[in-house]
Structure 1
Amino acid sequence: MDLNDVKTIIQDFFQENTVTIIGSGLSVAEGIPGMGSLSIELQDKLPDKISEKADVDNWKAISDRLKVGEGLEEALHSQKPTSIVEEKIRETTAAFIRSAENEALNNVLSGAKQFRLSDYLQKFNIRNNGLTVITTNYDRLVEYSCEMNEIRVDTLFVGKFICQFSPDESKYSFCKSIYKLKGQSRVEYSPKVTVLKPHGCLSWYHINGCACSVPHLEKNNCLIITPGINKYREGYNEPFDTHRARANAAIDTALRYIIIGYGFGDDHLETHLMRQLNSNKPALILTYSLSDKAVKVVKGCKNVIGICNRDNGTLVINKDGESFFPDVNLWDIREMIKEVF
């Protein structure tokens, strides 16, 4: 496989009915802390937030696992947090990510930077059916990137300031016009990106018993599912349940996938995603480093291509083998857009 072949393959993914799946790798590239940084932050901040002996002992058992190099997800699976420890993990996580998100947004608004996703989104012809982006991240970088490009965003909430969760009604807020064709009324919708977040968002809160999105509220009791065994229980509450179901439906009906910075570590998505990849639907994985699980997916599925960094160049992997291209960074979506289009 030569470089021109790779570029042609990449171009073929930028069509209608492509679903984009975004993991933490893209946010990390924009300055949002990943799991490693979050582990350090939790070890620093959590001891001052808990006092009951049972909670202190519980956190110590988790922290000891982190100190010897165990990942946060694995540590919280091995040692289930108490309800208080889980609450403090959620609050600390929200505060930590929100601070970094604010800095990233301010850098873009000041003109110092541009979101990596901006050029990427512009390469799609977003029509009536829109584009679906599924992300496991809590931050709002996808939403910001869309609106910086004058693309409307559907998060399944309706409103401007205190937005109500109303997935069936939300689509009608994008109505652009109603016209008659051959005697029948037709609805034209504005181009939009539907952003589905099965792990929650910094904007989401429970207010008076209802799920709401309040973008200007900066409290740390927002609705996010932190790593660990309890995420599977919480994932079946609203609005998580609907976002997960819509994400699964989008995965099932997509013709192809672009997977950015995602390490294949979430059973909620992968039950459906792996079924489609195993049925030979094409997927393009773009990431700095392919996780062991991602390598297994690439090696085991006929039409999946993994593109990652190696020695300041690009390594392209598929079921048939590997190709290395020095001095080109196709794994970074910003550089990939420059090289390919």
Structure 2
Amino acid sequence: MSEHILDKISKQAQDYYKNTPVIILGSGASAAFNMSGMWQLSQHLMANVIISDLTDHEKQSWGEFCKLLNNGEDLESALHHVSLSAELTNRIVVETWKLLAPEDIKVFERSLNNSSLFPLGKLLKHMFGSTATELNIITPNYDRLAEYACEQAGIHHYSGFSHGFRGYAVKKDYLTCARQVNIWKVHGSLGWFTNASGVITSLGIVDSIPHDLTPLIVTPGIEKYRSTHNEPYKTIIHESDDIMDRAAAYLCVGFGFNDAHIQTKLVNRCANDGASVIIITYKLTDATKDFISSNTTNKYLAIEASSENKSKIYSSLFDHPVEIDGDFWSLEGFINLIM
């Protein structure tokens, strides 16, 4: 029985995959490399954001924010409920960078002696085995793991800026190459900075924030929707929206369907245009389960971890979730379904 189910979902995965899906990387894709998630970030912010020199009003709002976190509110919700000043928001950005950038660099250093560290690179090379000359990745993640994966696989990538130690904003066709992966980072990147004059640049790996520069990453909460009206986010979101609108299939890796910038387009494409979606993650979020159970799409395959070395399958081919032997919820495990 299990072999029969495995054959069916393998064929389903291959049917969706042959349409060259847009890859959506969520926080779960980074968690696989021990990058901090929202909970770890919230703890880091409470421990490291300095407020002693701020106004009484700012101290009060920070106290309200920390109280929400200590009472179990998630970081995004807390930032929606409490209005923080521009200075506090800037300090959150800086501390977010200080937490994540060293973790990002550690992954890069690990990859120098591990040629198989990134399953994403293997997947991209396989996708280019077809007639595809351009692939698209959309991610709200700040880290550069997708870029590292491309480089380890010897694939040219574009993420909005020119290559080099000091990149500047360019169009995606500024270079001509046989194959290219476009990485649309809708919430910014650990390598992006702006100066006091508003000049935006992309730097190579740096282990501290350069003097008088500010990281260009969008914090969760209300500020996310304010900041994304500015460059470079405005252009990147416009481009990613066009990519989403043209896609016939999506492959979501560690994406929890909690980001309005991405999921609205995806849900509507599935509902109105018959696009297919594959979702692989350690644990499906409630928002993801609501999506696949709402009759919004009739072309879905979702896989999460079950008990040890087992996977739980949610498929539009089955009336109920099924459990099978094997790890197919991770990207490395999923690749075994399609190759």
Determine whether 1:296 maps to 2:290.
Answer: yes
1:14 to partner: Cα distance? 3.0
Asked whether the equivalents of residues 94 and 222 of structure 1 are also in contact (C-alpha less than 8 Å), the reply is yes
Residue in 2 aligned with 1:152? 156
Measure, in 2, the Cα distance between the counterparts of 1:160 and 1:58.
Answer: 41
Q: Flag structure 1 segments of 5+ consecutive residues without an equivalent.
A: 176-188
Determine whether 1:137 maps to 2:134.
Answer: no
Report how many aligned residue pairs link the two structures.
325
Could you state the TM-score of these two structures normalised by the residue count of structure 2?
Answer: 0.90
Measure, in 1, the Cα distance between the counterparts of 2:227 and 2:99.
Answer: 21
Return the match for 1:327 from 304, 322, 325.
325
Between 67-76 and 124-133, the greater mean CA deviation after superposition: 124-133
Change (3 A) 1:331 1:49: farther
Residue in 2 aligned with 1:88? 91
Among the aligned pairs, what percent are the same residue?
Answer: 26
Change (3 A) 1:128 1:118: closer
Residue in 2 aligned with 1:35? 38
Measure, in 2, the Cα distance between the counterparts of 1:129 and 1:77.
Answer: 41
Measure, in 2, the Cα distance between the counterparts of 1:252 and 1:103.
Answer: 36
Residue in 1 aligned with 2:71? 68
Measure, in 1, the Cα distance between the counterparts of 2:315 and 2:20.
Answer: 22
1:156 to partner: Cα distance? 2.2
1:311 to partner: Cα distance? 1.6
Determine whether 1:108 maps to 2:111.
Answer: yes
Asked whether the equivalents of residues 133 and 178 of structure 2 are also in contact (C-alpha less than 8 Å), the reply is no
Determine whether 1:194 maps to 2:188.
Answer: no
Residue in 2 aligned with 1:232? 225
What CA deviation, in whole Å up to 9, does each residue of 1:44-77 have, x standing for no partner? 1124675432222111101111111110000110
Q: Tell me which amino acid in the other structure corresponds to 1:211.
A: I
Measure, in 1, the Cα distance between the counterparts of 2:27 and 2:48.
Answer: 22
Return the match for 1:307 from 303, 306, 317.
303
Return the match for 2:244 from 234, 251, 257.
251
Asked whether the equivalents of residues 192 and 201 of structure 2 are also in contact (C-alpha less than 8 Å), the reply is yes
Change (3 A) 1:84 1:197: same
- 3-state secondary structure, aligned to 2:183: strand
Q: Flag structure 2 segments of 5+ consecutive residues without an equivalent.
A: none
Asked whether the equivalents of residues 187 and 228 of structure 2 are also in contact (C-alpha less than 8 Å), the reply is yes
- 3-state secondary structure, aligned to 1:251: helix
Change (3 A) 1:338 1:17: closer
Could you state the TM-score of these two structures normalised by the residue count of structure 1?
Answer: 0.89
Alignment of 1:10-25 (within 5 A): 10-15=13-18, 17-25=20-28
Return the match for 1:213 from 180, 197, 202.
202
Measure, in 1, the Cα distance between the counterparts of 2:52 and 2:280.
Answer: 38
What CA deviation, in whole Å up to 9, does each residue of 1:314-341 have, x standing for no partner? 1111355334334311110112223542
> What is the RMSD of the two structures over their aligned residues, measured on CA atoms?
2.0
Q: Tell me which amino acid in the other structure corresponds to 1:304.
A: Y
Measure, in 2, the Cα distance between the counterparts of 1:307 and 1:322.
Answer: 13
- 3-state secondary structure, aligned to 1:216: coil
- 3-state secondary structure, aligned to 1:201: strand
Residue in 2 aligned with 1:181? none
